[in-house]
Structure 1
Amino acid sequence: MAKIEVLLPQWGMGMSEGTITSWLKGVGDTVAEDDPIAEVEAEKVEETLEAPADGTIVEIVVPEGETVEVRTVVAYIETTD
């Protein structure tokens, strides 16, 4: 089993940070690659954060309402390989 970092992506050239407005999945939830897992507000636009791999969410690092820089680890997914 591997632990995969879920990073806050940079959706636009000028984007430097984003705010997790809501988690759509929680710890213990199984996700498939590209499943929506969180809503993020970046530069006044809502974006959907998608799972980077199949697996189970084992930790949420950034709580709802917190603003973090691009490429910050926001959660971890454990894969079953």
Structure 2
Amino acid sequence: MNQNQRATAARVIHDEHDVFKEAGQATCLNVIYALEAECQSLIIAMQQVWIKGYRKVTFEGDCKNLVHILEGITMKFDVLN
């Protein structure tokens, strides 16, 4: 990715019975690398579910690097900050 590229974030919300509730997408800020886009996507999803009033939420994603950072397996200070 180059630093002038914008990433697109998408989310799908299901309830505890796996019934579809809604979906959405957003354009992120300019990013330098893919992991930054993944972080922005998660933050946007977290903001949206909070705005909608959902309080018990499980997030799923396919970015192994981000999952490892959030679980404390990997340290990456630029992401943690």
The question of a shared fold, defined as TM-score above 0.5 by the shorter chain, is answered with no
Quick one: higher RCO (CA 8 Å, sep 6+), 1 or 2?
Answer: 1
Pick the structure with more strand per residue: 1
Q: TM (normalized to structure 1)?
A: 0.28
Q: Which has the larger radius of gyration?
A: 2
Q: TM (normalized to structure 2)?
A: 0.28
